C-alpha cells in the first residue's frame, strides 16, 4: 500500500515539510513512516523547490510534522497521536485536486 501512496503523491503545492522527532521514544513510528513516504526520491522529484527538513533530537520531544503549503497554509500534526495513514490522509486532503 505504501508504494501506491508514493506513486500518487505530488508535492507541487508544498513549500516545506519539517519533521522533528526523538528516535528513542516509543510513539515515533508513524512519523518515521510519514518521513519515508514524503522523503523518497520519486516523491521529492515532483517539486524540486520543496524543502524536506528532518530534525532528530534526543530530548523526549513529541514527534511533529509541520507542512507549509505554497499558498501560506500550514498543517501541523502530532505523530504521537496519529497513525501514518491518518497523517497521509490529512496531508493529501489539504493538497489541491489534480485535473483528470
**Model confidence over 23-66: pLDDT tens digits?**
999 999 999 999 999 999 999 999 999 999 999 999 989 999 99
User: What global pTM score does this model have?
Assistant: 0.85
Indicate the average pLDDT of the chain: 88
Q: Where are the domains of the chain?
A: 26-94
pLDDT of the residue at 2: 47
pLDDT band at 96 (very low <50, low <70, confident <90, very high): confident
Supply 71's cell numbers: 499558498
CATH 3.40.30.10 holds for 26-94: yes
pLDDT of the residue at 4: 45
Amino acid at each position: 500500500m505504501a508504494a501506491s501512496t508514493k506513486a500518487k503523491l505530488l508535492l507541487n503545492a508544498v513549500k516545506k515539510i519539517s519533521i522533528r522527532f526523538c528516535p528513542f521514544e516509543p510513539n515515533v513510528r508513524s512519523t518515521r513512516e510519514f518521513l519515508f513516504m514524503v522523503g523518497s526520491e520519486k516523491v521529492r522529484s515532483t517539486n524540486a523547490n520543496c524543502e524536506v527538513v528532518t530534525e532528530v533530537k534526543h530530548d523526549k520531544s513529541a514527534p511533529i510534522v509541520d507542512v507549509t503549503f505554497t499558498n501560506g497554509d500550514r498543517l501541523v500534526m502530532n505523530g504521537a497521536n496519529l497513525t501514518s495513514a491518518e497523517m497521509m490522509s490529512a496531508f493529501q486532503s489539504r493538497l489541491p485536486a489534480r485535473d483528470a
